[in-house]
Structure 1
Amino acid sequence: MDEIVVKADKLTKEYKLYESEMDRLKEAFNPFKKSYHKSFFALKNVSFEIRKGEKVGIIGSNGAGKSTLLKMLTEVLTATSGEMNINGKIAALLELGAGFNPDYTGIENINLNGKLLGFSQEEMKEKMEKIIEFADIGEFINQPVKNYSSGMFVRLAFATQIFSDPDVLIVDEALSVGDIRFQQKCYRAMDRLMKDKTVLLVTHDTAAVTRFCDRVLWLDHGELKFDGDVGEGLQKYQEYILNKIDEEKKKAAYDEDYYRPAKGNISLKKNDRGLNIPEVVSGIKNKGNGQVTLTHCGLYNEFYKTSDVFEPGDVFRFIAKVKFNEMANRPIMGLGIRDRLGNEVIGINTNTIGVELPALEGEAEVEFTFKLPELNKGGYTVTVGIANGFQDDHVQMCWMDDVCIFRVPMREYDIPGTIYLQKGKVDVYK
């Protein structure tokens, strides 16, 4: 029987979620042990064995429990229940530069890493040349790593780990940072240097799993859904993703008229919601004529909970407190959403969605609601404009850039571009 290097037995990780710090205190000091928390299981009864020399891909959607599992493997986290047994030395590439001192040079960090792993000075001299050659970052090897790009970081980190001769190497998405030539170099190195060792590859890149792994573990909401052949596992996983997308579309039975009201005036609603809307960040300049002031604004989800993370298809609410210093007979309000480079990727205003705001004076609370389009991963900002007049003939009363910030998490597949398309038609002719 092959040697078992990793064994997980009913591994469970529970987090207690509290509505507030006061609830945490109430639970801690309650004489009757009353619970004030909700349980969230990042992992639930996960069991598997990994044998020496296996190349195992770990897949799953965001929030599936992959990172939690890896942190347990590297003893960063402890299990709530169950056991994790590891036989051998582990090297992990989980986060860029984890364990590096940003003020040390590349060479100093290599030596520091070697000492932590128990290598002698002579052993490090032998490995140093190989690490520097593989990382291939030139003179930057003598510069503090805080000056490195993310690509340089991962080059040095990967080289340091793979030449430490581990029994188990864990790679968590880090290779996606390097360029394609370096990624190929890494896979060749894992083929060569880790030939008789164990590798765990955590990635959204199913092509990488097919190319490198001989087994796949599929996690979903903390549970192990599949453990076995790569081809079969990826097929089940992709079928699950497609079915999930279809189910979400069926569940999203929102009345489109709610998001695109009929043309004409909308009536004023009584403001008795009592929302605690954040004040506008200080320092943001109003580029309009000052007849309107934006005092508070925030981003909210479908349930009117503040949020700075949105998935495509989520209900996206922008709510603002606005003060009209003068009567605006025909106000127009619009939002612009920009990516991290300042490119405007979404533009929407009351005219374009067929809404005519009533004449406004004094304070008002305005809410924009729409479903977020298929934006790709990354950070985005919200810019607000309020004018008086018509689409092609108006006076800009208020214009404030970047009043809110949000991000879209990693998509299922890592592809370039601003819009992440999941629908299309393909024909083949021969």
Structure 2
Amino acid sequence: MSSDDYSIRVNGLGKCYEIYATPRDRLKQFIIPPIQRLVGYEPSSYCREYWALENISFDIRKGEAFGIVGRNGSGKSTLLQLITGTIAPTVGTVETRGRVAALLELGSGFNPEFTGRDNVYLNAMLLGMTHAEVDERFDKIAAFADIGDYLDQPVKTYSSGMLVRLAFAVQVQIEPDILIVDEALAVGDALFQKRCFGRIEKLLSDGVTLLFVSHDQESVRTLTNRAILLKGGREVTMGSASQVLLDYRKLLHQEESAYFAKLMQPAAEKTPAAASRGETSKAPQESEVAELQGNSQSVTEAPALAGRADQMSFGDGGVEVLAVGTFGADDEPCAVFYPGDVIRIRVDCISRIDTDCINVGVRIRSREGIKIYSWGTLNQDMQVLSGLREGDLFWKRQLKAGEKFHVWLECDCSLGSNLYEIQASISYEAKPDYSAQRILHWKDEAAFFQTLMRQDEYFFGGITDLHMAARW
């Protein structure tokens, strides 16, 4: 990348905070170490260092959409504050080129005693607009915010949703070169979010650089090209948005598995002691099973998949996806379908343990990475349990160690022309309602298929067929 081809350049960035046990220690740190240095002694320290961010480096090209993902406390907001200049780095440098518009905290820069109208002028002028420019664009700002008569009420009376409406409306009207969004859109209603994403896409098409932070993985996948994953203030991985999000899901799964394994450890330690006292152990109650999200057999005997060579898979192990294939109505392998065809998906599996409470499912994503549909055997079991259909429960099926089995999932093709990816998963469901789930095996890019149109016979636009009809 040439020196003139970037909007944001971050090099060796780090932010360290000093943590004090008491206010007295803060005062000691302020007075005693400078005196010790003056008299030639090694200075004492009355605080501990906390690195909220450490050794982060990346470049973002002009017009690029870049995502930042990670759990709460991973350093995402600290990184954005350093980039916008609201806090100073301890080490490293940040360079930005162009006008920056940032939505970091709800209502940041707003005076709670002023009205919404007054805050529009105040905020816009702080961002570099003149009073005349605000006058010219005020109607557009008010229309986008769409808060009605509240525009002339004090901001302290606003809900969080109204605050972000007004803040976003101001930021996008200053025509930024760099737009930074940090979870701010999560509080808006569905219609406002749609309007915001539409505006963001318009800015991207105009060459604006986007730095986007969200826990909504589908939004990150759809809006951004590249991303970085943070954990504990450090970079875990950086690359294409789809690959980083896969690594993010693996990270979440590993942390969740470690958490539940820790929960189960005290129960496992108590069992031998109870037996030595001659006590009879009781079966765990349903609420306990739901809390632990799995049985001890699966945890202790199942080989984990998180470290396997297949980078597209993760899970606790125990039951695995061997292969996934797509077939036509005649049970012949088929990878191209037309509207009205039957799509049959076969998931071949093997169980390494004795278990039940299993769900085999798939997720279908478009070429753009948008989730189209997800469904599994547990969805059908839930219909049976609620009396909406008849049949046996796959959830109650007893699987034996070494047993191979397969599941057929089928539907009518109602998808628009595109290439689709099938992700396959096997999960342990402590309860038959998805409320206590543990992933045993998840496989990205398990299979692909394509849908086409016979345009002279049956045609529609979009991602799915709504089977619309006309009347007159």
By how many angstroms is 1:226 displaced?
1.7
In 2, Cα distance between equivalents of 1:164 and 1:422: 46
* Bigger fraction of residues in helix: 2
Q: Residue 358 of structure 1 corresponds to which residue in structure 2?
A: none
Verify the 8 A CA contact 1:11 1:84 in the aligned structure 2: yes
Aligned residues: 272
Alpha carbons 1:53, 1:198 under 8 Å: kept: yes
Distance 2:231 2:222 in 1: 22
1:213-252 matches, cutoff 5 A: 213-252=224-263
Alignment of 1:126-165 (within 5 A): 126-165=136-175
| Structure 1: segments with no counterpart, 5+ residues | 263-311, 314-418
Instruction: Answer whether contact 1:215 1:229 (CA < 8 A) is retained.
Output: yes
Indicate if the aligned counterparts of 2:112 and 2:154 stay in contact, CA closer than 8 A: yes
Q: Is 1:40 the equivalent of 2:50?
A: yes
Counting only pairs closer than 5 Å after superposition, residues 336-355 of structure 1 correspond to structure 2 as none
Q: What's the offset of the Cα at 1:94? A: 1.0
SS at match of 2:63: coil
Provide the rounded CA distance (Å) in 2 between the counterparts of 1:27 and 1:153. 40
Structure 1 residues 26, 117: CA separation in 2 closer, same or farther (over 3 Å shift)? closer
Tell me what 1:376 maps to.
none
CA distance 1:219–1:420, change in 2 (3 Å) = farther
**Is the Cα contact below 8 Å between 1:227 and 1:233 reproduced in 2?**
yes
List per-residue Cα deviations over 1:149-173 (Å, max 9, x = no partner): 2111111111111111111111111
**CA distance in structure 2 between the aligned counterparts of 1:425 and 1:204, rounded to whole angstroms:** 19
Give how far 1:420 is off: 10
The 8 Å contact of residues 103 and 167 in structure 2, kept in 1 or not, is answered as yes
Query: Deviation of residue 249 (structure 1)?
Result: 2.7
Where does the alignment leave 5 or more consecutive residues of structure 2 unmatched?
37-41, 275-290, 293-432, 441-472
Distance 1:125 1:227 in 2: 43
Match for 1:423 among 437, 445, 449? 437
Alpha-carbon displacement from aligned partner over 1:266-295 (angstroms, at most 9, x marks no partner): xxxxxxxxxxxxxxxxxxxxxxxxxxxxxx
Q: Which residue of 2 aligns with 1:20?
A: 22
Superposition pairs of residues 51-62 of structure 1, within 5 angstroms: 51-62=61-72
SS of match in other structure, 1:141: helix
RMSD: 2.6
Q: In 2, are the aligned partners of 1:216 and 1:227 still within 8 Å (CA)?
A: yes
Check 1:16–1:120 CA distance in 2 against 1; reply closer, same or farther (3 A cut). Answer: closer
Change (3 A) 1:259 1:143: farther
Matches of 2:86 and 2:196, distance apart in 1: 25
Does structure 1 conserve the Cα–Cα contact (< 8 Å) formed by 2:65 and 2:204?
no
Matches for 1:110-121 after TM superposition, within 5 Å: 110-121=120-131
Query: After superposition, where does 1:267-278 map in structure 2 within 5 Å?
Result: none
What letter is aligned with 1:248?
Y
Identity %: 41
* Kept in 2: contact 1:27–1:33 (CA 8 A): no
Say if 1:91 and 1:170, in contact at 8 Å, map to a contact too: yes
Q: With the length of structure 1 as denominator, give the TM-score of the two structures.
A: 0.59
Aligned to 1:7: 9
Q: Deviations over 1:200-235 (max 9, x none)?
A: 111111011012111111111111122210111100
Q: Secondary structure at the match of 1:97?
A: coil
Residue by residue over 1:79-133, the C-alpha shift from the partner in whole angstroms, topping out at 9 and shown as x without a partner, is 1111111111111111111111112222211111222123223311221111111
Shift of 1:137: 1.2
State the secondary structure of the residue aligned to 1:255. helix
TM-score, length of structure 2 as denominator length: 0.54
Bigger Cα displacement from structure 2, 194-203 vs 64-73: 194-203
Q: Report the Cα distance in structure 1 between the residues aligned to 2:78 and 2:56, rounded to whole angstroms.
A: 12
